[in-house]
Amino acid sequence: MAKAMKLMVQRDMPQRTLETLSFDNTYARLPQAFYARLNPTPFSEPPYLIHANRSAAELIDLDPEQFERQELAELFGGKALAPGMEPLAMLYSGHQFGVYVPQLGDGRAILLGEATNQRGQRWDLHLKGAGMTPFSRDGDGRAVLRSTIREYLCCAAMQGLGIATTQALCLVGSDDKVYREQIETGAMLVRMAPSHVRFGMFEVFYYRKQHEHLKTLADYVIEQHFSHLRDTGEKYAQFFSEVVERTARLIAQWQAVGWAHGVMNTDNMSILGLTLDYGPYGFMDDYDAGFICNHSDHNGRYAFNQQPYIGLWNLSCLAQALLPLAEKEALKAGLETYQPLFDREYQERMRAKCGLSEAQAGDDELIRDFLGLLQGSHADYSIVFRELGAFSSQNGAVNETLREHFLNRERFDEWAVRYRDRLRGEGSRDDERCTRMNRVNPKYVLRNYLAQATIEKAQHKDFSEIDRLFTALQTPFTEQPGMESYALPPPNWGKHLTVSCSS
């Protein structure tokens, strides 16, 4: 009830037009060493709106009717600026595939400013594909339609799944040509987040030995996003501990839903624990603990089962960057909380996926053995967990539909007896358990083949599939009439699609 009341109050807030949106840019108040000021480079061809996210618009009080205006496409197509915007490209460095790169930065994105809503909340509006910046290196600063659709849809998917993420306000297209592996059309995406500060922003000032800038950045982030720590004695160490907690929770969410980021470089790690920078990501189809979604990751550094470790590794890089501000032992203590935090969060989520209400000895083994059955049978991760909700715990029940997913039926039958006994041991009722499990096991996930089919239509200017898929992904746990095809396993052509960083 409280949640419903909150939403009602938000909808009653006066809505804003493009002319009355309130912009600021607190990041632009930092020293100029933190960024490069420049305006977006507009498309040479007229921009047009491809799709808009009404729920994201509500976060900044933007009237959805504004999406019908050509001025909006021009504003978020790099052709115009709103009052209060102070565009800039943010500087950072980072460890890419384990190797430190001294300077990175926004090479194809520009922070337009912060939209402030009437509740006092600030949202960065970051324009991706906005043209070259001083940090573009050899790139053209553009994004292609293909990559922007993938990010736009995955932001919606993660939001629907309840996973911390940046959001996407809208997708703007153009007939401008962009050269990648082939000639494609360009697009821009407006990414929203309370902050786009990442681990690599601390690293750049640490390695440059610009410790005064490091302190300025830490104080800025604490003031803006961790203000409850502002007057504490060990605020930098406590700040780090909270980043550890958010990161552990985030990666546990990824693991439970079967999602791989693909490029977990430190410059792609949000200081707020948000999923950031959607490139060669992938939801698993057939369960594979060693799933690699980035075809450039030849050694599997960012494989699915490596993500928890890489989260810890990246946090250790952040801890090192904070050494001039906090005691080593305090940072080490914060780092040591990561594994138990991750384990607890992941175990809770996996128990929920299996419908287990209580934590009991042997649960880890029961879940691990089930995942082993999935892997040995090349069974679909999302589909099987969804069907597990219909498991009958009655004596003599065969659970034939679920059983069909497994190659070794005898091993499944043995596991099913253990699972049945475990459910009955805590007095589980099948109908209630099924309802609970359907709230955490999604019916719809953004499979790569669904994204690819949507992209192929969009490349012929048929954007209808973006809207249909976007709608399904917003409520992934709910049965949606007419959307059944999105819940099917991928066809053979869609099982092993290669995805690159330009995707």
Mean pLDDT in residue range 155-165: 98
362 and 275 in a common domain: no
Burial class (CB in 10 A: 0-12, 13-18, 19+), 203: buried
Task: Mark whether 335 and 363 lie in a shared domain.
Answer: no
Number of domains in the chain: 3
Question: In the predicted model, what is the mean pLDDT of residues 425-440?
Answer: 96
Residues 215 and 125 in one domain: no
The dihedral of CA 178, 184, 188, 189: what is its sign?
A: negative
> Is residue 232 domain-shared with residue 138, that is, in the same domain?
no
One-letter amino acid at 125 equals: L
Position 281 in a domain = yes
What is the rounded CA–CA span in Å between residue 297 and residue 310?
14
Q: Determine how β-strand 122-128 pairs with β-strand 282-283.
A: unpaired
In a domain? residue 232: yes
**pLDDT, mean of residues 231-255:** 97
In terms of domains, do 286 and 182 share one? no
Same domain, 114 and 144: yes
Residues 54, 95, single domain; the answer is yes
- In the prediction, which pLDDT does 434 show? 97
> Closest Cα to residue 130, out of 59, 201, 58, 81?
81
Owner of token pair 């075809």:
295
Q: Judging by beta carbons within 10 Å of its beta carbon (0-12, 13-18, 19+), is residue 313 exposed, middle or buried?
A: middle
Of 405, 438, 471, which residue sits at a domain end? Answer: 438
For residue 497, the model assigns a pLDDT of: 76
The stretch 92-108 carries a mean pLDDT of 96
Tell me, yes or no, whether 191 and 204 share the same domain: no
Q: Are residues 116 and 223 in the same domain?
A: no
pLDDT score at 398 = 87
Within a domain: 224: yes
Same domain, 181 and 252: no
502 falls within a domain: no
Tokens of 60: 């900044």
Residues 6+ apart with CB under 8 A from 96: 104, 265, 267
Q: What is the pLDDT of residue 500?
A: 64
**Residue 492 included in any domain:** no
pLDDT at 10: 42
What the block records as the tokens of 35 is 């960024």
Q: Are 13 and 123 contained in the same domain? A: yes
Examine residue 503 and state whether it is found in any structural domain, yes or no. no
- Of 145, 178, 195, the residue that ends a domain is 195
Segments forming the whole domain that contains residue 403: 356-438
Q: What is the pLDDT of residue 12?
A: 57
* Mean pLDDT score, 480-503: 83
| 300/340 same-domain check | yes
End-of-domain residue from the set 348, 367, 401: 348
283-314 confidence digits (pLDDT tens): 999 999 999 999 999 999 999 999 999 999 99
On the question of pLDDT at 496 being above 80, the answer is no
Task: Point out the residues that are catalytic.
Answer: 267
Asked if residue 467 belongs to a domain, the reply is: no
* Predicted local distance difference test score (pLDDT) of residue 152: 98
Percent of the chain residues topping a pLDDT of 70: 96
Structure confidence at residue 502 as a pLDDT band (50, 70, 90):
low
pLDDT score of 375 = 97
